[in-house]
Amino acid sequence: MKIQPASAAFTVVLGFLAAVPYSGIDINLPALAATGAALGTSPSHVGLTMSVYMLGLAIAPLLYGPISDRVGRKPVVVFGLVLFVFASLACAAAQSLPMLLICRAVQGVGAAGTTTIFAVIRDLFDEASGRAKIGSVMIAINVVTVIAPTAGAALLAIGGWRLIYAAQAVAGLILIPTVLYGLAESAKFDAANRIAAFTVLKDYLRIVTHPVSMAFILIGAAAGSAVFAYVTGSSLYFIKVAGLQPQQYGMIFSACSAAVMFGAFLDGQLGRRGVAPADVLTVGLVLLFVASSTMLVTTLAGLSPPALVTSLLMVVALAFGLSMPNLMNATMQPLPDIAGAVSAAAGSIQLGSGAIASGLVALLFDGRSALSMAAVMAATTLLALTLYLRFTRSAGRPLAT
């Protein structure tokens, strides 16, 4: 019996699928030093496993999206999960850093197959219900990000770093039959519409030239870059500058993830009460910029105690939770026939821009303050707000759908 799209179980399954790419990052964070010791290399070199994993996440959706528009969402998700399982097992068995890097890149390619679930939402739900469903999926993603670092530390203590990858393989194995037997195909595709390089390029040309979809893709990428800057910069600031213990930092990270969940939940409640998505998105983007720029100003003034930085990061997280369901929904609405390609383009551009923001934070880190994090976050949130205001003026209405 198939899981009904309107049910809570359907949302939970989509949430777990959407969390697969993120779980491959957070659960491995506590094991970098142990992995380096086991393979005879430094933790900083092992950190490259995160980079190659994210590279796979950024590139693979560009192929998965158009394929899912032509053969369906389920085959792509199942293929990605199978690849994720085998790559996770290969990571667990790796005996050298080069082999681990290769396996992590393949693992990222596999995990990227689950990013098509946002196209599933576009297939099955209208604008209002799609906005609520995306918000619920974001809550599920952040539940995983809250528990993943703690779970990784526990698995590391029980059986070492290889057990973490084995656990990821088990999670993928559980999801495969769930997708195969629990989810119906959602895509409405034409079987005669064959996959070809020209048609794929044509789809992406439609996306980058579409004034609404591309505008919201860029706005979402700029807003998402602020979060990537926070993820990189917060660990550098709180542990290396403020001197907090990893466990204390973990609590701050979890609190920010909870703030994202609350923002997504609040957006859903506002939607049910008839509040326009444009109003919520405007408030969210303004909050993102105000909190980030406040952090930059206080840091430049030498007034950035951990408590203040934590409070401002939680406001950023709350604003991100408010904004992203509306941004994703607005991105997907205009091109329903190639929703998979739209989802892929949005995810790849956001990951690419996020990687750049993350790299800038690490490169500019002065070892004494949160300046690099605050500066990059202020710049990216200003860009997101400026793009949105420019788009609303040119479109003549606050949120085109």
pLDDT digit string (tens) for 267-316? 888 888 888 888 889 999 999 999 999 999 999 998 888 999 999 999 99
What is the rounded CA–CA span in Å between residue 248 and residue 309?
A: 14
Which residues 6+ apart lie within 8 Å of 1 measured at CB? none
Question: Which residue type occupies 311?
Answer: S
Pair of tokens at residue 144: 């995983």
What is the per-residue pLDDT across 171-204, written as a single tens digit (0 to 9) for each?
999 999 999 988 888 777 655 555 666 677 887 8
Check residue 193 and give its pLDDT. Answer: 57
DSSP calls for 213-263: HHHHHHHHHHHHHHHHHHHHHHHIIIIIIS---HHHHHHHHHHHHHHHHHH
Mean pLDDT for 78-103 is 94
CB atoms within 10 A of CB 368: 9
Mean per-residue pLDDT, 80-102: 94
User: Cα–Cα–Cα angle for 70, 224, 166, nearest 5°?
Assistant: 70
Q: Domain spanning 1-191: which CATH class is it, in words?
A: mainly alpha
Quickly list H helices, 72-114.
73-93, 97-111
Structure confidence by residue, pLDDT tens digits, 16-75: 898 888 788 778 877 777 888 888 887 657 767 877 887 888 888 888 877 887 788 889
pLDDT of residue 95: 92
Which residues, 6 or more positions from 95, have their beta carbon under 8 angstroms from its beta carbon? 39
Instruction: Reply yes or no on domain 196-401 having CATH 3.90.650.10.
Output: no
Domain(s) labelled CATH 1.20.1250.20 in the chain stretch across 1-191, 196-401
Q: Is the pLDDT of residue 208 over 90?
A: no
For the chain, percent helix, then strand, then coil, each to nearest 5? Answer: 85, 0, 15
pTM over 0.95: no
Residues contacting residue 387 through CB under 8 Å, at least 6 positions apart: 215, 218, 219, 222
